[in-house]
């Protein structure tokens, strides 16, 4: 039984397209005055955030509330976690409260996968360490398809700190599944080990990649993780890998610029480019709610989920999901 969304790589092409098409219909709901649907009435979604995040948590909260689910927000600060409670004990507490879905953000890669073996409800990965952030990749794909009308054959450049980016990994996996051609652009120090095994191209030269790209996705330079001198100076990084007006001019006329946020304006992207009409940055936020509604609906909206992966632990698998 499929019931979790942990990696973008677990989604088949049909799963991914079902999510995008469902989101397309749900986007119409966001345009009307009553934005609420009764679909998940009586279901409980827990937002379990061990790492700071405003936009993703609010986005999931809005998505769940628009589907009439009850939302419980749990952040590590001020909780029993700061008293030393383990992930497992926290999970069992949530289990006892009857969570139908747990949306988890954790600093450790693999935490959602582990959690999935302990709880009965669906687990949705909202970012784990430097591993994955599948709903971000889905909303990026959704935003590209809305702007450019297709994903098949689209040339996407993902630029910047790929090493620490869960967004990059999830996007490479999902866009590969959906038939887009991805090129990662970064200084060699900011590329992960074994990147050559990923289903994408790799380049160190942004200027050579730009003219051929339909989509340029700028990644945030994660200043909080920049303690190992990955590049000589912020200024030099910005010179070689920042998207400024001159580089923006080299893109073809229909190309779009994306950024998962939060931005370091003036570092990886200039304010001018970020605010241009060809930037989808604010659309991405709005689309995030819609896509997360689609994911929650497809996981919780029926007797069993329509998308996602099987639980890792067969003992848990035999327990019907979402039934209380």
Partner 1 sequence: MSDARNQARAVLEGPDIHRALTRIAHEILERTKGAESVVLLGIPTRGATLARRLAERIAQFEGVKVPVGAIDITMYRDDLRLRPARPLGRTELPAEGVDGRTVVLVDDVLFSGRTVRAALDALNDVGRPRAVQLATLVDRGHRELPIRADYVGKNLPTAKAEKVKVYLQETDGRDAVLLIKEDAR
262 marked among binding-site residues: yes
Q: Is 113 a catalytic residue?
A: no
Q: Which residues lie across from 48 on neighbouring strands?
A: 74, 104
**Considering the complex, what minimum distance in angstroms separates the CB of residue 298 from partner 1?**
5
In the set 43, 133, 145, 292, the catalytic residue is: 133
**Considering the complex, what minimum distance in angstroms separates the CB of residue 100 from partner 1?**
11
**C-alpha span between 90 and 81 (Å, rounded):** 8
Q: Is 56 a catalytic residue?
A: yes
Contact between residue 66 and residue 293 where contact means Cβ atoms under 8 Å apart: yes
55 marked among binding-site residues: yes
Cβ closest to partner 1, residue 19 vs residue 255 = 19
Contact between residue 164 and residue 225 where contact means Cβ atoms under 8 Å apart: yes
4 marked among binding-site residues: no
Cα dihedral across residues 171, 169, 133, 112: positive or negative: positive
83 marked among binding-site residues: yes
Contact between residue 131 and residue 169 where contact means Cβ atoms under 8 Å apart: yes
Cβ closest to partner 1, residue 27 vs residue 180 = 27
Cβ closest to partner 1, residue 251 vs residue 300 = 300
In the set 22, 56, 183, 290, the catalytic residue is: 56
Interface residues with partner 1 (CB under 8 A) are 18, 21-22, 25-26, 28-29, 32, 34, 36-39, 67, 297-306
**Considering the complex, what minimum distance in angstroms separates the CB of residue 34 from partner 1?**
5
Q: Backbone phi, then psi, for 135, in 5-degree steps?
A: -70, -25
In the set 4, 57, 105, 145, the catalytic residue is: 105
Residues 6+ apart with CB under 8 A from 279: 256, 257, 258, 259, 273
Place of tokens 């912020």: 234
**Considering the complex, what minimum distance in angstroms separates the CB of residue 29 from partner 1?**
8
Place of tokens 């999830």: 170
Q: Is 145 a catalytic residue?
A: no
Contact between residue 186 and residue 224 where contact means Cβ atoms under 8 Å apart: no
Helix (H) or strand (E) holding 248: helix 245-249
136 marked among binding-site residues: yes
Strands 70-75 and 2-4: unpaired
56 marked among binding-site residues: yes
Cβ closest to partner 1, residue 38 vs residue 84 = 38
In the set 35, 55, 146, 265, the catalytic residue is: 55
**C-alpha span between 176 and 128 (Å, rounded):** 21
**Considering the complex, what minimum distance in angstroms separates the CB of residue 211 from partner 1?**
38
Query: Which of 3, 90, 6 lies closest to 46, judged by CA?
Result: 90
Cβ closest to partner 1, residue 257 vs residue 300 = 300
Q: Please give the positions annotated as active site.
A: 55-56, 83, 105, 133
Q: Binding-site residues, please?
A: 55-56, 83, 105, 133, 136, 166, 220, 261-262
Q: Which residues are annotated as a binding site for carbamoyl phosphate?
A: 55-56, 105, 133, 136, 261-262
């Amino acid at each position: 039984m499929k019931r979790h969304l942990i990696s973008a790589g677990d989604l088949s092409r049909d799963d991914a397209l079902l999510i995008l098409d469902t989101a397309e219909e749900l986007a119409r709901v966001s345009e009307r005055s009553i934005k609420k649907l009764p679909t998940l009435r009586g279901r409980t979604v827990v937002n379990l955030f061990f790492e700071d995040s405003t936009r993703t948590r609010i986005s999931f909260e809005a998505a769940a509330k628009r589907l009439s689910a009850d939302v419980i927000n749990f952040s590590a600060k001020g909780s029993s976690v700061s008293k030393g409670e383990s992930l497992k004990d926290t999970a069992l507490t949530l289990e006892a409260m009857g969570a139908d879905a747990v949306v988890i953000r954790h600093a450790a890669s693999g935490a959602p996968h582990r959690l999935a073996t302990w709880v009965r409800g669906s687990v949705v990965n909202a970012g784990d360490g430097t591993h994955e952030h599948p709903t971000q990749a889905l909303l990026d794909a959704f935003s590209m398809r809305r702007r450019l009308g297709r994903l098949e054959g689209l040339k996407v450049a993902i630029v910047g700190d790929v090493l620490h980016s869960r967004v990059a990994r999830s996007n490479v996996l999902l866009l590969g599944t959906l038939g887009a051609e991805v090129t990662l652009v970064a200084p060699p120090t900011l590329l992960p080990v074994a990147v050559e095994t990923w289903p994408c191209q790799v380049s160190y030269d942004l200027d050579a990649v730009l003219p051929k790209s339909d989509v340029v996705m700028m990644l945030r330079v994660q200043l909080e993780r920049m303690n190992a001198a990955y590049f000589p100076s912020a200024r030099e990084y910005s010179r070689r890998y920042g998207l400024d007006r001159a580089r923006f001019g080299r893109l073809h006329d229909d190309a779009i610029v994306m950024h998962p946020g939060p931005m370091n304006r003036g570092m990886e992207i200039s304010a001018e480019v970020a605010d241009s009409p060809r930037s989808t940055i604010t659309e991405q936020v709005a689309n995030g709610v819609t896509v997360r509604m689609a994911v929650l609906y497809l996981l919780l909206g029926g007797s069993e989920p329509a998308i996602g992966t099987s639980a890792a632990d067969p003992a848990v698998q035999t327990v019907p999901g979402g039934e209380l």
